[in-house]
Amino acid sequence: AEFFWYAGGVPAVMESIRGNLHLDVMTVTGKTLKENLDDIARTNFYDDRERHFEGTGLRKEDILAKPEAPIQKEGAVAILRGNLAEQGAVIKHSAAPEEMRVVTLKAVPFDNEEDAINAILHGGVHPGDAVFIRYEGPRGSGMPEMFLTTEAIASNEELSRSIALITDGRFSGASRGPCIGHVSPEAAEGGNIALVEHGDLIYIDIPGRTLAIVGVGGERKTPSEIEAILAERRSRFAYPEPKYKKGALALYTRFAVSAMKGGYMDI
CA separation (Å) from 103 to 108, 161, 209? 15, 12, 12
Residue 228 neighbours by CB under 8 Å, 6+ apart: none
The residue from 94, 160, 172, 258 that is catalytic is: 172
Cα–Cα dist 169/180, whole Å: 9
Pairing of strands 179-184, 201-205: unpaired
Query: Is 172 in the active site?
Result: yes
Cα–Cα dist 3/12, whole Å: 12
Looking at the annotation, which residues are catalytic? 172
